């Protein structure tokens, strides 16, 4: 008998459900396609870490410690830049953050979350 995968409940806010409903496909099929595109775009992109020095990356992680990276709309404002400024980041770093396009902001967010997971596993 084939093993059934454990089901997990996922909650989507109304604005996400509206977006997901733009297809005749099943919800799981639509989510799977979106996640697959997202993963492939990240895979093909130049790593965001290459845009910053090691010191700047350390400052970004320290400044965003405790910063909630959801909802996504917050990321396209100045939340990360403000956190870095309050932390005492350099003007060069603030300018680099302000110059990121939306896709680079997503990459930075994914990098921050990946680094947080690494740190959590080391503790």
pLDDT digits (tens, 9 = 90+) for 78-110: 778 888 889 898 899 988 998 888 888 889 988
Model confidence over 6-20: pLDDT tens digits? 667 777 888 888 888
pLDDT at 59: 93
User: For residues 14 and 3, which has the higher predicted lDDT (pLDDT)?
Assistant: 14
**Domain definitions of the chain by residue range:** 14-44, 48-122
Under 8 Å between Cβ of 63 and 84: yes
Instruction: Please say if the pLDDT value at position 54 is more than 90.
Output: yes
User: What confidence category does residue 76 fall into, taking pLDDT thresholds of 50, 70 and 90?
Assistant: low
Distance CA 1, CA 21 (A): 34
Report the predicted TM-score, pTM, of the whole model to 2 decimal places.
0.74
Distance CA 30, CA 16 (A): 12
Instruction: Please say if the pLDDT value at position 70 is more than 80.
Output: no
User: For residues 123 and 49, which has the higher predicted lDDT (pLDDT)?
Assistant: 49
Element (H, E) at 115: helix 102-122
Helix (H, G, I), strand (E, B) or coil at 39: helix
CA distances from 66 to 61, 69, 91, 106, 116 (A): 10, 9, 22, 18, 10
């Amino acid at each position: 008998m084939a093993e059934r995968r454990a089901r997990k409940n996922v909650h989507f806010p109304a604005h996400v459900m509206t977006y997901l409903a733009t297809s005749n496909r099943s919800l799981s099929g639509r989510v799977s396609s979106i996640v697959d595109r997202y993963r492939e775009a990240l895979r093909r992109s130049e790593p965001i870490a290459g845009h910053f020095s090691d010191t700047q990356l350390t400052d970004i992680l320290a400044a965003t410690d405790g910063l909630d990276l959801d909802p996504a709309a917050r990321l396209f404002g100045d939340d990360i830049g403000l956190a870095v400024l309050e932390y005492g980041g350099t003007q060069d770093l603030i300018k680099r953050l302000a110059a990121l396009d939306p896709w680079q902001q997503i990459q930075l967010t994914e990098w921050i979350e990946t680094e947080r997971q690494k740190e959590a596993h080391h503790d």
